[in-house]
Structure 1
Amino acid sequence: MPLTSVVDYLNSSLQQLHPQARLRDLSQLSFDHGRLSAQIAGFQLQPYQVPVATLVEPPERIIGRSGQFRLTGVNGRHARPESIYVHAWDSHDVVFLDRFLRTMHALFHISQEHSPEELLVLPVHLRHVSALSERHGQVFEGLLSQLGLSPRQVVLRLQGRALQDDPHVQQAAQSFITCGYRLAAVLNSGPHNDPATIRWPVLRNSGISWISPDQALLQHWQEQDGFDLWRDAAKVHGIGLWLTGIDSAATPPRSALAAEDILEGDRFLVAANGQRLDPGHSDRDMPGNAARSLSTYR
C-alpha cells in the first residue's frame, strides 16, 4: 500500500480518536516527494532516528532506533522539540499531541524498513500520563497494530523521579507493561539521584528494564568514575543501563562501558547506515506486513 494512503488513513484515525482536541484541526502528517513530515500549529516537524546499539560481537550491533524530530517555527528558525507542547492548552490537546508524535515516529520507523527485531524507542510525556486516568498505552497499541507493529517492539521512556514518587505514574507504567511495552526510566541530575537514594524496588515493581541518565548526570558519572557504582546498584534489582548522547568514542570511554549496556547516539551512525534507508526519505510502498494489518482495520 502506498505510504500516501497510509498517511491519509492515520490522519483520519487521529482525528476520530480525539474529537475534543483543538490541535487535531491544526495538525497533519504529510508524505510529499518521498519525504515524511508533519505540521502542528504552523510548525514543521521532520522525524529522524538515532541508532541504539550494544557492544557485543561484532563490536557494535544495532538493536533499535530512537525517534527524534527537528522542529522549525513559522519564522523558519529551529526550536527545541519540547517547545511544541506549549501549544497543548488542555489535557485533550496533550493526549492528542503525544499520540500524534508517537504515531509519526512509528510511521517513519516502518517506512525505513528496519529489521523486525529492531526496537523503536519513544518518549511518553508526563502531562500525557497525568491526563489519563487509566488504560495507558491501549489506544497507541491500536495505532501501532495498524502499522504492523506491536508493543513488544517498542520501548517507552518515562520520567524516573515522577515514577518513584507518584502512584498514578506507577499505575501507568504497569498498564504499559500489561500491553507489552518495555520501559526505561530517565534520571535527571541532582542530589536525589544518587544510587543510595533511588527507590529501586519501586522501579523494579513498575516494570522498568533500564535507567537512562540525562546528559548532565551522564557527565557526572564520567567525572566521578561512577559507571560501575550505578551499574552494580541497578543490576541487584534486575535493571540495566541505557546511555544516550553517545556521540564520540571518548564520551564515555569504552573502558567505562559493559557489554550489557544499551548505548544510543550518533557514534553508531556508521554501523547503522548499513541497515537503514536515507534518513527522512522513502520512495517505497509500505512494507507488506504493515499494509496487510492496516487493511484489516478498514
Structure 2
Amino acid sequence: MSSSVPSYLEQLVRHPETDKRLWLDPDQRVVGKFLRCQLASVFQPVIDLNEQTSIAREAFVRSWHQTESRLSPWSLFASAAHDEDVVELDRLCRTVHLLNHFSGLHANEPLIVNVHDRLLAAVAGDHGRSFRRVLDALAISPSRVIIETPESVCLDRSLLAFVVANYRLNGFRISVSVGRASDVQKVLGIVRPDYLKVDGRRIPSTAEAAHVLALAEANGVRTIIQRVETHDQLNTLREAGITLVQGFALAAPSAVPAQQTPLATTAA
C-alpha cells in the first residue's frame, strides 16, 4: 500500500468536512459524491491463463441516486450536461478507484482505469497531468496505473495518437480498447500501447484470435481479450494461444475488501 493512502483515509475520518466529495463507508471503502449521486468501485481481474493469477485489475464505477436504488454509470455520465462536468466526474471516479484499489488486498497489482471519450475530447491540453498530480500526492508511481482508452477513440487517428503520447509522457502505461478484431492492424499502425484489449464476443474463431495475437506480438504489444462470458469462448482463446483474459467466465467485478485495519470513527 502507498504510505500516503492510509494517511489520506484517516484524514477523511478525522476531518470529514475536508472533502465533502469523498468519505468512507462502514466497510472502509471510499465513496464519492457527484451532484445527488454516490459512486463506489468494483474491480475485475485480468487473468493469466498459464499462471492462473491476476496480472492487473480493472476498475468500474457503481452508482446510485439518493432517490433511486440504482443508477447505471451510463445514466450518470449522461446526466453531466457540460464538458466540464464530465471532466470533473471522470476524475472523481478515477480518484475513488485509486483510493479503493491501493488500500485494498490487491494493492500490489497494477490498476486499470478507463477514461471517458467526452473527457478526451474536452481536454485540449496535457492528458494525464491532473491525474498524475493526484498520484504524486498519494505517493503512487504512475507506472502502477494503466490508462485504458475507449473504443470510440480508435475512430480518430490524431486524437488516439495525441492521447497515448500524453499519458505516456506522464508516466502511465496504456491499454487501447478495440471494438473489432478487424481494427487491430489499423490501431497498431498509429500507436504501440502496452496492452491491446479486444472484445471477445467479436472474435468468432480460433484463427481470428490467433491472427490478433500474432499482429500484437509482432509489434511488441500484449493482447487482452475482454468480455469473455462463456467457457466456449475461453476454449477458443486457449486454442489460439491467448493467455490474458478478462470476463465473467473467470470472475465478475466485485468490491475488494480493505486491507487496512478499521479506522477510528472519531478523533482521539
Q: Same fold judged by TM-score > 0.5? A: yes
Q: CA deviation at 1:121?
A: 0.3
Q: Distance in 1 between matches of 2:46 and 2:40?
A: 20
8 Å contact 1:163–1:170 — kept in the other structure? no
- Cα distance in structure 1, aligned partners of 2:38 and 2:188: 40
- Asked whether 1:93 is paired with 2:81, we answer no
Output one character per residue of 1:69-92: Cα deviation in whole Å (capped at 9) or x when no partner: 222234434232122112322222
Return structure 1 stretches of 4+ with deviation > 4 angstroms: 6-13, 266-270, 280-283
Give the conservation status (yes or no) of the 8 Å contact 2:153–2:160.
yes
SS in structure 1 opposite 2:68?
A: coil
- Residue aligned with 2:56, SS: strand
> Which of 194, 202, 209 is matched with 2:182 structurally?
194
Determine the C-alpha separation between the residues in 2 that align with 1:10 and 1:176: 32
Identity %: 20
- Write the deviation string for residues 184-213 of structure 1: whole angstroms up to 9, x where unpaired: 111124xxx515862422022xxx122212
Residue 165 (1) aligns with residue 147 (2): no
Question: Once superposed, what is the RMSD of the aligned Cα atoms?
Answer: 3.2
Shift of 1:67: 0.7
Q: What is the number of equivalent residue pairs in this alignment?
A: 255
1:41 aligned partner: 35
Q: What runs of 5+ residues in structure 1 fail to find an aligned partner?
A: 14-26, 287-298
Report the TM-score, using the length of structure 2 for normalisation. 0.81
**Partner deviation per Cα, 1:79-119 (whole Å, 9 max, x = no partner):** 32122112322222121111111000000011204353x11
* Structure 2 runs not aligned, ≥5 long: 1-6, 264-268
Deviation for aligned residue 1:139 = 1.2
Correspondence for 1:3 among 9, 33, 54: 9
- Contact conserved, 2:154 with 2:187, CA < 8 A, in 1? no
Q: Does 1:63 align with 2:55?
A: yes
Q: CA deviation at 1:140?
A: 0.5
Q: Quickly say closer, same or farther: Cα 1:153–1:122, change in 2 above 3 A.
A: same
Q: Which amino acid aligns with 1:213?
A: V
CA distance in 1, matches of 2:245, 2:14: 35
- Calculate the TM-score normalised by the size of structure 1: 0.73
Q: 2:185 & 2:53 partners in 1: Cα distance?
A: 33
- Alignment of 1:262 with 2:244, yes or no, is yes
Q: Which of the residues 119, 122, 144 maps onto 2:135? A: 144
Q: Is the 8 A contact 1:11 1:28 kept in 2?
A: no
SS of residue in 2 equivalent to 1:133: coil
